[in-house]
Structure 1
């Protein structure tokens, strides 16, 4: 047995076996089409109404279908009202995650202990279905950074995504070989870039498992990755504030929805009615276990088409759409990670929503929705020049709204200068 897995399991058993209990629950719920979802939904909504200021007036509604759909801008404007009363005095001890998400709205979510344990179990449960066993050495190919201690504990090799050029590919592949990595987890755009380099340079680097996150894994990407790494990639649909919402089947034909720990609805673009199989709709999520900061009917900003519906419940979706980000280039014309553009505003707590676009070879525009008169432009400009080059010209446009595109999405990265 992997030593890190053994250590983790022993620690879990000392905590009354929460991992094994949660894994058993996930297995049972999936095998029996989520029989506990209804009672869990009733419990979390009742808890939220009784303990969370924002949901106090929900007692006036006669049914769950009458509850309004939320997005991050609503939560941003009423932030403290979404933290439940029993946890307000101990908020410093809660697990917190900071995210920007598909709306480009950065702020922090708080998770209670049980919720956090559920998230860990989800990663293990779905990871195992993607040939990723807890504790096995894997590369994490993303924009964020982790401490060396964290990487050691998780048996993780961090490969930070900055510029996706040949130099980055060469260095990354050298690390993968040196560390004998057999599982990749990361952005499909970055992994596809590695796959292209491997193919062009006739490099042999087979993998046992590949999990893509945060972006759409297209059919073309899937084929290129599988051919280069000799392993079919699996797309995981997850978020910092929730956990694993859906996991792609190894066949690549559909995603399994995690209706055990969430109620996931696919609603029409312009109404709160459910869509039929094959119709595009908004992914709206209710978290069944986060009591610290309940999220009820939360619009993720992503879109999907139901693939299977059983007894009125969507159990599978075709894919997650609207998550592929535009490609931004620096002042030299080299591609940079869209997630680094996003990450530059992670600590800008006064920004409610933003949209970043490239308007010229060196010209960039940042549209901002904020309640403040200023958001620290000097620091933001410096952060972007560190990514794009010292000659980058950053313009700001303070707006009241960022309109949705025809698809219903509000992308936070737009390319208006380079056209592929």
Structure 2
């Protein structure tokens, strides 16, 4: 760490100290719980946070008034985004409406605007979560961070703040070859230690460019690359790791809640669940009952620190598979994306989105973009945006049928562009049949 970055680091913690050291306290607790997840002290702290949140919600939040004196979370209803939207005022804690709150919003993968309010302590907890999981990915406060996202007036930092935090905000709304080259040149010009945070789809496009041009960028002093907001497929994870000579890790988070789980330098394939800040459940796809380890279920979370708008048993709409280690620790083995985008073979069995991604690996040098859509029970459409021609239609269709069924009807449509969602993401797998 150079002198200026060292001073950035010390300044951050000095400011936190002068404000009462709240972030440092949160970070210490998160680190202890996630390092000792099944210790009696860690379980006691988690229970205290959960019961405190439930009691607060039942006493101060109209939506939960019927649950006074209830500390069994299983009694509370599972809620979805639409429930919060339709009862927004009832989800606001009455005493916190008079306090300083912060609005957090997202357009979401569906493009539907959604926002919540957070209190100051929740904001501090989120900051500490980011610091913990970033630290588990070889990042230190003060080091250079490149953020790849769709940057607009509502989310872009000012020049001074960006300099102060040593952040480079790189816009990916039009990630052409020339734009990718600009990003690579940005990386080359800086000799600092670097970390990169961005959408998985942008990494995939960068990988395709690097593969086509046989570029070696292993000496760029990159500590780690974190993918957020989207599914990180195997090709992108392995290819980018090779090109940048650094771990490529996936983060599962949302703007309105925070970091729920993440791969780390010590858990590069599976997701460490943030039990310190959330009560996390994995429920059956159709019933509000827990699934067994090894089965896919809906990710349902309770935010332990948002007292401004208590969010209890919130169905994120995403799907994961749970695994239990020998020491009893639970992790997400896989996170598949949204339930509404699960795809099925012609007999109605779930097919992992990972299977779809593998169909395109060998063709990446020919493709600018692709999208796989289930249009009906046995009908599938593949949208391709190609550089020139694509002479492998028959091979691709047969490959799809091998996993989805010989009676599958597969069509290929050529397009000039697959548009971004309002969130800046580009969906690779879509289900119009069950949406």
Query: Which category of TM-score, normalised to the shorter sequence, fits these structures?
Result: 0.7 to 0.9
Q: Normalising by structure 2, what TM-score?
A: 0.73
Determine the structure 2 residue equivalent to 1:5: 9
Determine the structure 2 residue equivalent to 1:381: none
Determine the structure 1 residue equivalent to 2:60: 51
Change (3 A) 1:203 1:5: same
Displacement of 1:358 in angstroms is 12
Displacement of 1:100 in angstroms is 2.3
Alpha-carbon distance between aligned partners in 1 of 2:281 and 2:143, rounded to the nearest angstrom: 34
Determine the structure 2 residue equivalent to 1:362: none
Query: Is 1:248 matched with 2:248?
Result: no
Query: Is 1:193 matched with 2:205?
Result: yes
Alpha-carbon distance between aligned partners in 2 of 1:165 and 1:140, rounded to the nearest angstrom: 17
Determine the structure 2 residue equivalent to 1:338: 420
Q: Secondary structure at the match of 1:299?
A: strand
Query: Is 1:86 matched with 2:95?
Result: yes
Determine the structure 2 residue equivalent to 1:184: 196
Please list, as runs of the form range in 1=range in 2, the aligned pairs for 1:151-300 lying within 5 A after superposition: 151-180=162-191, 182-206=194-218, 207-250=222-265, 251-300=267-316
Residues 117-176 of structure 1, C-alpha deviations (whole Å, 9 max, x = no match)? 110011111101111112211110011341323322221111111123212212222223
Change (3 A) 1:310 1:15: farther
Q: Secondary structure at the match of 1:204?
A: coil
Alpha-carbon distance between aligned partners in 1 of 2:423 and 2:384, rounded to the nearest angstrom: 14
Alpha-carbon distance between aligned partners in 2 of 1:229 and 1:122, rounded to the nearest angstrom: 26
Query: Is 1:29 matched with 2:24?
Result: no
Change (3 A) 1:335 1:211: farther
Unaligned runs of 5+ in 1: 345-354, 360-401, 411-420
Alpha-carbon distance between aligned partners in 2 of 1:278 and 1:138, rounded to the nearest angstrom: 36
Count of residues paired in the alignment: 349
Q: Secondary structure at the match of 2:96?
A: helix
Alpha-carbon distance between aligned partners in 1 of 2:310 and 2:236, rounded to the nearest angstrom: 36
Alpha-carbon contact 1:286-1:296 (below 8 Å) kept: yes
Displacement of 1:356 in angstroms is 10
Alpha-carbon contact 1:111-1:292 (below 8 Å) kept: yes
Alpha-carbon contact 2:106-2:423 (below 8 Å) kept: no
Q: Normalising by structure 1, what TM-score?
A: 0.76
Residues 305-343 of structure 1, C-alpha deviations (whole Å, 9 max, x = no match)? 0012799x872111211258985999x94445634x336
Determine the structure 1 residue equivalent to 2:79: 70
RMSD: 3.0
Q: Secondary structure at the match of 2:423?
A: helix
Determine the structure 1 residue equivalent to 2:388: none
Alpha-carbon contact 2:146-2:167 (below 8 Å) kept: yes
Q: Secondary structure at the match of 1:342?
A: coil
Change (3 A) 1:55 1:16: same
